């Protein structure tokens, strides 16, 4: 059984899938903290991830990334979002197999659309779309192999994705994910409705 000091969820997935957005919302819904390992790298090394990647090269960046991921997973019991390419590291793969990994899925075309013009170093080149397709072909089998929970983000709002992830986590670790994360909230006219005894004024927050 996982320890209560282990991460409650580790999010993986391709560039543009929304790991940071979903991770922040998921952490808030669960009442835990959130760490984005790319931001942690930037904080530790005083440079943007893109700058490190471009100036030092991918191998050097991946080495830094491995170390940061190991440290964060060992010390953080909340929600963690990893960089899209972090899973290429055998060391990181081995580490992730011991934790609740959530794979946020995205189609190639949707990923290309979302990352267009983003200037991500990993997509640098004359044809970023071709680079994205190549990365998806290389990484998707790894994402799938590591995942305990898989959730598609296509056609879904971040809130809908969070709800699906929460359901998966609750099934996988009910001893850690117990409370419902979406409180009942009132519509603008709820007070009048409640006075009239109309309970349909309540809805689940989305």
Within the chain, where are the H helices?
19-30, 37-45, 49-56, 58-75, 90-96, 108-115, 128-146, 158-172, 190-195
Determine which helix (DSSP H) or strand (DSSP E) holds 104, and give its type and residue range.
strand 101-105
67 in a labelled binding site? no
3-class DSSP state of 204? strand
25 in a labelled binding site? no
18 in a labelled binding site? yes
Residue 17 CA, chain-centre distance (Å), reads 8
> 198: which DSSP letter?
-
159 in a labelled binding site? no
5 in a labelled binding site? no
17 in a labelled binding site? yes
122 in a labelled binding site? no
Where is the binding site for Mg(2+), in residues? 20
Positions at the binding site for ATP: 16-21, 120, 156
Binding site listing for substrate: 38, 62, 84, 139
Known binding-site residue numbers: 16-21, 38, 62, 84, 120, 139, 156
């Amino acid at each position: 059984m996982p320890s209560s000091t282990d991460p409650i969820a580790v999010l993986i997935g391709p560039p543009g899938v929304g790991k940071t957005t979903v991770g922040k919302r998921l952490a808030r819904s669960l009442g835990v903290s959130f760490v984005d390992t790319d931001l942690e790298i930037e904080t530790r090394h005083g440079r943007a991830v893109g700058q490190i990647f471009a100036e030092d090269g991918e191998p050097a960046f991946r080495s830094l990334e491995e170390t940061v991921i190991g440290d964060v997973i060992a010390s953080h019991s909340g929600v963690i979002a990893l960089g899209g390419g972090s899973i290429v590291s055998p060391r990181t793969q081995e580490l992730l197999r011991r934790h609740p990994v959530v794979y946020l899925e995205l189609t190639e075309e949707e990923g290309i659309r979302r990352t267009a013009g983003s200037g991500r170093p990993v997509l640098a080149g004359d044809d970023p779309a071709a680079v994205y397709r190549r990365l998806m072909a290389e990484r998707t089998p790894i994402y799938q192999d590591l995942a305990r929970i898989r959730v598609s983000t296509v056609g879904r709002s971040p809130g809908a994705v969070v709800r699906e992830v929460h359901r998966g986590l609750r099934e996988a670790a009910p001893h850690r994910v117990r409370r419902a994360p979406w409180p009942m909230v009132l519509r603008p006219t709820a007070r009048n409705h409640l006075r009239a005894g109309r309970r349909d004024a309540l809805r689940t927050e989305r």
